[in-house]
Amino acid sequence: MYNPIEDVMPLLKDQGFEISDPWDIVDAFEKIIAKYSGSKYGISCDSCTNAMFMCLKYLNAKGVITIPNKTYLSVPGLIIHAGCQMKFADIEWSGIYQLTPYPVVDGATRFTKGMYEKDTFHCLSFQISKILPICKGGMILTDDKVAADWFKLARYEGRDNRISHDKIEDIKILGWNFYMPPEQAARGILLFEKTADNNSDSGGSWSYADISGYSAWKNDII
């Protein structure tokens, strides 16, 4: 069976990364994407959807969040599951948009050098149709170390991913099973090596249907 970890090890060693544990590959992928994006930190997870959800939970988001009426189906769901309501707006966008009024950016369809939106929680997608098509995965870009440390715990059930669950004496936050496994990170590094610095947006208001009238969230719209 193909294992991307075996292929990525020589590449990472050539780039100066010390890999003694599979989770070091995840760390390396986060550092590579953060450097490319222009942020101080990158926190990987299993999807852009769950990246945005964690950001709203970290911010203790309340009330109404405004989003474009043309966006991906999971966005209204994550807002509702985070305990908020929505307002749809006729917003033209390309590559990124904000979950207003919060500094959370849905950047699922943009992947280009220096893309990080400063002073935000900028969320990426590595889904199979995106510019860096790992298959499934996401990342939060931020310059906020306190938030970055929280996300690293929150994505892995509230614990350090290097400590076995049966060795944990206590956890201080409630987390989720949203982590990116080392195999996915290894695939991401290999694909990144073939990714250009400047890429056109892969989506925007022109590429999504108007979902504002769907029945699933009719009771959560303001």
Q: Identify the CATH number of the domain in which residue 136 sits.
A: 3.40.640.10
Q: Is residue 207 part of a domain?
A: no
pTM value is: 0.95
- Per residue in 39-58, pLDDT (tens digit) is 999 999 999 999 999 999 99
Residues of the chain with pLDDT under 70: 1-2
Q: Is residue 24 part of a domain?
A: yes
Q: Is residue 8 part of a domain?
A: yes
Number of domains observed in the structure of the chain: 1
Q: Is residue 211 part of a domain?
A: no
Distances from the Cα of 117 to the Cα of 96, 160, 206, angstroms: 10, 28, 22
Q: Is residue 52 part of a domain?
A: yes
pLDDT of residue 194: 93
DSSP 141-184: EES-HHHHHHHHHHTBTTS-TTS-GGG----SS---B-PPPHHH
- Per residue in 207-217, pLDDT (tens digit) is 999 999 999 99
Domain that holds residue 39: 4-195
Q: Is residue 202 part of a domain?
A: no
Q: Is residue 208 part of a domain?
A: no
